[in-house]
Every structure is written in structure tokens, then in C-alpha cells.
Amino acid sequence: MRRHAIGIIAIALLGVGIFFLIWPPRDSALQWLHGSSVRIGVVLLAVWLAWPEISRVPRWMYGLVTAGILIVMIQPKLVAFVVPALVVVWFLRPREKI
């Protein structure tokens, strides 16, 4: 059910983006809505496409990625260390037995 909801929201946001592409807002206060709806819609569309793989990611990995994003937001120069560390943790994580 979550995948369906994500797909519907992505289509709605992309629809808003297309609407504002055809009829641009006259008010400058609404111009942010066009850009943000397209960007968020594209990201949600990518999440919708990758949902089967995302659902298999361990829950603790979401916490590590969130912590990595916060560290990079505070110190952008640490991106050269955070991204490789997350990749190493991903490949060294315990595997599920099939």
C-alpha cells in the first residue's frame, strides 16, 4: 500500500509542476512551489521505482544515513569521509540467510 501512495503523490506533484510549467505563477511567492514540486516528485518517483530494494534495507541503516547527512550538513568538507564510510558499512553489514 505504501508503494501505491508514494506513486500517487509523485504523480500529483509532477502534475503540479507541469501545471506551473504551462501556466507560470504570476506571484513570485508561488514560484518556489513549481521548483519544489518537480524536485520532490522526481525523488518520490525514484523511490517508487526502487521500493522493492528499499524495503530490504535494514532499519539501522536509515539511522546511519540520517546521521551521515546531518554530519555533512554541519561540516560539508567531511563528505569525502562520510560517503565512503557508509559504503563500507553497507558492504560489511551482516547478510540475511536465505
Instruction: Note the pLDDT tens digit of each residue in 4-25.
Output: 999 999 999 999 999 988 988 8
Instruction: Note the pLDDT tens digit of each residue in 32-88.
Output: 888 888 999 999 999 899 888 777 778 888 888 899 889 888 988 888 999 899 888
Q: Round to whole Å and give the CA distance between 20 and 26.
A: 10
pTM of the model: 0.62
Q: What is the CA radius of gyration of the chain?
A: 18
